[in-house]
Structure formats: structure tokens, C-alpha cells
A and B are shown apart, each in its own frame.
Chain A
Amino acid sequence: MSDTEEIARTARRAAAACAGLDAAGAARRLAADGILGLLAPEETGGLALPLPAAAPVAAADAAELLAFPLVEALLLARLLAPLAPEVAAAVVAGEAVATVAWRGALRLAENGALHGTVGRAAMAREARWLVAALERGGAALVDLRAGPGVAVEEDPSGLDLERPAALVTVGGARAARLIPDGPEWSALRADAQLLRGAEMLGSAERCLEAAIGHLSGRRAFGRPLVANQGLRFALARHKLALENARHALAHALAVAGQDPRGRSIARLVARVTAAEAGLLLCEGAIQLHGGMGFTWDVPLHRHLRRVREAAAQCDPAGARAALAARLDEPAEEEREWAA
């Protein structure tokens, strides 16, 4: 049995065991299984594994609709280890919840005070730490419990029910730490997109299984729905989109280490295909469930909500535009061929 499969199994079990827990409870549970330190260096209690090891964990978190900012925890523990080792260690140990504001940037005044509003910060209400980009480049680590200088409210652009997105407005609080505008910060954002891709494929796979289950069990016109060729072909197309995205994501993850700033063609391809497959399969599963798919109790909408947010973060339109500008550039692994 490979390590990847072992990690995936552990992650599924741990994510399922987090059902009903709040973020702090989930953090302790996930830490107990060693999941939060997967990418963090050993000094902070982590396993220092490369990025691909986190992909099955992200997929499992999505499949189980985990109510915890897991991708953020995994990547922040890695980013903060050299800059704020006590915070990184607390994240790895499940003693503190940390999140990232994926939209917007804060202004850093001369006197060191932070100002502005950032958005799409998953579960910021339950988190102790926030990392937000700075307008001048780099980022700031903000203590969300610092007092009146920080306000957290609902981000009305968010859809995710388990990990509600928040707007965070900072009015004069100081950064607990400044994160330089270097490859580590670029890598956090770029690697988060790949792990969002893994989450989307985790949701997509779960939705495809649900659709197949529904169509196989339900009968209409005297036969199982799945006997209809139109529905079989739709499922086959879903499978094709899923496998396309899986192949692209696996490759992008495999070559991620050679591309610390996250500019590879492989990443652009993975972002587009994962977003496409995630949306096609989740929206498609709702359609294939008929009226049941539109109900609150059938959890397909929960997957769809997460996938929509993840897709926004992967920015497939931006990735396509970037690819269009680099159409005849060789892919990374082929550069040496042309030499």
C-alpha cells in the first residue's frame, strides 16, 4: 500500500470524525492524526512532506465536507514556520486556528498600523490568526483577537456553508509579523490553488458517485434511469472531465517543487481543468438528481457551494488568459528538449 493511499485513508477517517465539531475541536482531532503538520518542517512538529502529499488530504476534506480551513492550516504551518514558529507550532498542534483572506489587501501605514478590508477568509470568526496580503507586496499575520482594531463579519460573496467566508476589516491594528514578498508567499497562493483543485476533484468524485447511485436506484418508465443512453453518456462525459483534471493536477503537483513562484504552464492547466470538472460534475449531479438535487437535505449543494468558491480562487479565466499569452512556450519539463 502506498504512502499516498495511507495518507488518504487517514485523512478520510479523520475528516469524517470531525462531523459536528467546531473549528477548534476539528483542529485538535486533525492534529491528533498528524494531518495539520503534513507540510510543516520538523522543528514545528511537522512531517515536512512535499506538496503532493497534501492533495489526497484536501480531496478527503472536500469529500467529507469538513468544516475546517484545512488547506490554509497546511500551507500556513509551512509558511509561518521560519517567521512565526510559535504560531506555526500551534497550528500543527491543533491549538490555534489560522486562515487566509484570499481577496484584497491591507494598507500598511508608516507607523506600522494596518488598515482596510480583506475578504474570502474562511472561518475567520472561529480563527485566531489571519494572513492577509499587503498592498505594497508580501503579507501580514494578524491576531484576530487583538481587540477593537479588528472586525470580522460575513462575506456576502461567499457560498460555503461549512466554512463560511468572512470579511475582515482592520482599523489600526498592528501586524503580529510581516511576511516578505518572496517566493514563500507566492508559493502559498499558488499551492493553495492546486490544493483547491484537489478539493474540487474530491467533491466532484463524490458528486459523480452520488449521481450514479441515484440513477442506478431510481426507476422510471419501467427500467432504471441509468439504462437510458442519454444519462449514461452524460456520466461518461463527467468521468472524462474528472480524469482530464486528475491527470493535469497530478502533473502540476509533481512538478510544483521545480516552480517555487507558481508560474508553470502545468499549474495553469491544472487550475482550468479542475475548476471545469468541479463545476461540471457538481452542477451535473444536481441536474441528474432531478428535484431531489434541488433540496437542502441532499448535500450536493454543499459541494457545489465549496466548488464555486474554490473555482473562484483558481481563477480559470485568468489562467486561460495567461496560457493564451504563452501559447508557444514549451511546458516546463520540455524546456531542456528545445535547448
Chain B
Amino acid sequence: MTAIGAAAAEDALPAAGPAAWRRAIRDWLEANLPPAWRADAIAPAEPGLEELKAWEARMYRAGLAGVAWPKAYGGHGLTLREHLIVSQEIGRMPMPESVNSIGKELAGPILLAIGTEEQKKRFIPAILEMREIWCQGFSEPEAGSDLAGLRTRATHDGKVWRINGRKIWTSGGFRAQRCLLLARTGTLEDRHRGLALFVLRMDAPGVTVQRIRQIDGEAEFAEVFLDDVPVEEADALGSPDEGWQAAVRVLEIERATNRMYRAWRLENELRHLVAACRADPNLAPLLADPAYAQRLAQFRIEIEVLKRYVEGVVEDLAAGGAIGGRGSLIKLHWSEAHQRFAALALELLGQAALPPAPEVRAAQRRFRRIYLRARAETIYAGTSQIQLGIIADRILRLPRAA
């Protein structure tokens, strides 16, 4: 075992205070993350799936995943405040994205909220130990933003549920063992009513996964075809009528807290860009050019604002408060800010001296990818238009047409 073991997170915090704990987390990450995996590495190496699973399992054992989940299901039993500290340190380190973020940030919280005791014991530890990767089966070809229009049906044949339909934009669908599936038990006219959540085994008969190549040439997401797929009764999540409601409540929290490290990762990106520019004779003067300086400063402002939102959410949740539609403000804010920044980074790095220095090449590789991927950020988890609609409806409570 490495510098901080599972016990270290629990013992060090009350014993030595948050500062020492933060230090321990940082030291552990620096000592254990392979340098070539860092997004700012000069000689990068892409880790494979098995390596990433092993890495995330180690992070969990070191106390860096499941921070605020109950100990009874393998969590570390701390609070969201500690989860924030861990997130800040994860954000500051440009490490690979989790290959099980759906499990850790969506399925896990929903299972904890509405799962049975048996389900929690069966699924939660497997998520944390990276034995089971999850994907999310919500969107459909005919139901993206308007989820209530989804058509995938769940019918009970007297023994098991039978699922028929299609899911799309299923991130990580090809590597997942489990799918958090939203399906209709009633009729299409029921809209939100009669939508139920299921835990689907991705190796069940009738599941076909077709990868979809995306804007950056990779194929992270997939279309999932479901042809009479059996789901055991024990894998239905919540009762058919309350599943959706509970999921929505959890989704509200998730929209506000998921990838809690984001602000600190964005700050890492900004610092990386600035460092790369300083290292280049063409780019260094541009940092002081008012046209670029203003836009760089704007992103710094947007990062600071994002930190304030996240800290506010953590404090409010810790005090037992509610989130409401606030996640929509946060999501709209960071997604648009990040797109502007990514475009700015490309614009700057494209003017580098030739041949580019190794650290400039590293930044060019990183920001090319960030720029392309950022196009999805205003689409997934509810498009910007959906977020604006939520702000208008649920936060401002604007009346509808009379």
C-alpha cells in the first residue's frame, strides 16, 4: 500500500486537520500518478483500460473515491466538505478522466438514494473497487433533451422484466458491465409517469453495442440496442412511479456537484496554457497583448466564480439545504466559459514559433483535444437551451403562456 492507505483519510483528517490531509492527498497523487499520464506531459503515454481501472481502484483504496459515501457500502464515510478537498487536489493534477464517472457520479448516488439495502451492498462496492463500470441509458434517438418522450419499453412477463428499445450517446457503453436504464412501463402519453429505472447487465442476451465515432476521432460513446433483454426483479430500482422523481432529485444534485474538481482542473488548464506561452518567443508577448490578456483574465474570473458556486453548494448541502435548479446556472456557466477558453487556447498556440518547443507541442496536443471535446459540453447533461429553460421555469418561475 502506498503513502496514504484507506485508513489514512479517516485518521489524518480529524488528527491533523484539513491542511495536513490535503498535503497527504497531494503527495500521494504526485508519488503515484505515472508522469506520462499527465495531460501536460512532454512525452505522453495513453494508459489502457485495465491500467486505468487499476489506477482508479488504487485511488479508492487511498481514500480518494467514495469519500462521502457510507462506510457500510465501502465508502469512506466523510462529508461533502472532505469530498471538496479531495476534488480540489484531483483538479490540480491533470490526470486522466475516470473511466467510471457514470458509476461514481450518477449511478452510485441514485443507488444510495433509492436502492434497496441488497442493491446497495451488491453494486456500490463494485463501483468503488472498479469491478463494474457503469454506463447511462437515458437518451434515445427520439428522446434527447425531451427525456419524457422516451420509448424504450419495460414489460413484465410474469417472471422478469423484458426491455425493448434503443439508447444512444451512451458514454463508455462498450466497456460497461452495468447500465442505469430509464424505460417506460406505461404508455407514451404518460410522459414522466410510468418511467422506471433498471440496472441492466451489459452482457445480458439481447444487448448490442455499436460504438459511435465522435468529433475528435475517438469512439467513446455508443448506441445500445435492446432486444427483449431480461432484467431480474431484483434489478428494478425504486418503484415504477417514484423512480423517475427520485432520479430527478438526485440529478439536480449531480448537476451541481458532479466533477466537483472541474474549477481546479480548468485552473490547471489555464496555468498550462500560460506556461506554454511563456516558453515560446512568439507567444510570450501575446500574453501582455491587451486583446488576449482581457480574454485570459475573463477565464480566470469565470474559474473563480465556478469555485464560489461549488463551495456554496457544498456548504448548503452540508447544512441540509436544497439545490433546486442551481445546477443549471453552474452548468451553463462553466460549459460556455470553457468553450471560449478552449478556442482562445487554440488561437494562441497556433501562433507558436517553428519548430515548436516540446512544452508547446504538449500544450498544442492537449488543447486540440480539449477544444474539440468542449463542443459536447454545451450539449450533454442537458443542452444550454435546456439549462436556460430550467432557469426560466424553476429559478425565475416565469409564467407560461396563459
Count: A-B pairs, CB below 8 Å:
106
Considering the chains assembled together, what is the distance between the CA atoms of A229 and B270 in angstroms? Answer: 35
A232 at the interface (CB under 8 A from B): yes
Count residues on chain B whose CB falls below 8 Å from chain A CBs. 39
User: Per-position contact with B for A235-269: 1 when CB-CB < 8 Å, else 0?
Assistant: 11101100110011011000000000000011011
Residue on B nearest A250 in the bound complex, by CB: B308
CB-CB contacts below 8 Å: A262-291 with B:
265-266, 268-269, 272-273
* A233-B388, A250-B308, A328-B275 known; A323 vs B297 contact (CB < 8 Å): yes
Residue pair A320, B297 in contact (C-beta under 8 Å): yes
User: What 0/1 pattern do residues 21 to 54 of A give for CB contact below 8 A with B?
Assistant: 0000000000000000000000000000000000
Binds B, one of A108-116, A184-192, A220-228: A220-228
Which single residue of chain B is at the shortest CB-CB distance from A320? Answer: B297
In the assembled complex, the Cα of A141 lies from the Cα of B307 at a distance in Å of 41
The answer to whether B297 and A324 have CB atoms under 8 Å apart is yes
- A328–B389 Cα distance when bound, in Å, is 35
- The answer, among A224, A236, A240, A265, for a CB contact under 8 Å with B401, is A224
**B22 and A224: CB pair below 8 A?**
no
A248 touches B304 (CB 8 A): yes
Looking at the assembled complex, report how far the CB atom of B258 sits from the nearest CB atom of chain A, in whole angstroms: 19
Question: Whose C-beta in chain B lies nearest to the C-beta of A337?
Answer: B22
Taking the closest CB of chain B, its distance from the CB of A207, in whole angstroms, is: 14
Complex contact B301–A273 (CB within 8 A): yes
Report Cα–Cα, A211/B5, bound state, in Å: 56
B375: Cβ under 8 A from any A Cβ: no
Q: Is the interface of B mostly helix, strand, loop or mixed?
A: helix
Q: Can you identify 8 A-B contacts, CB atoms within 8 angstroms?
A: A216-B398, A223-B402, A247-B312, A268-B301, A272-B297, A317-B294, A324-B297, A327-B297
CB-CB under 8 A from B307, the residues of chain A are: 331
| Contact pick for B396, options A236, A265, A323, CB 8 Å | A236
Is there contact, CB below 8 Å, between A328 and B271?
yes
The reply to whether A227 and B401 form a contact with Cβ atoms under 8 Å apart is yes
B300 at the interface (CB under 8 A from A): yes
**Count of A residues near B, CB < 8 Å?**
38
In the assembled complex, B293 has its CB within 8 A of some CB on chain A: yes
- Chain A residue nearest in CB terms to B271: A328
Given the interface pairs A232-B388, A337-B22, the reply to whether A272 lies near B301 with Cβ below 8 Å is yes
The answer to whether B274 touches A236, judged by C-beta atoms less than 8 angstroms apart, is no
Complex: how many Å from CA A215 to CA B392? 13
Q: Is the CB of A321 within 8 A of B398?
A: no
A297 contacts B by Cβ under 8 Å: no
Please, which residues of chain B bring their CB within 8 A of the CB of A323? 297, 300-301
A320 to B291, CA, bound (A): 11
Residues in B with CB closer than 8 Å to A248 are 301, 304-305, 308
- B398 near A240 with CB under 8 A, answer no
Residues of the A chain whose Cβ atoms lie less than 8 Å from the Cβ of B290: 321
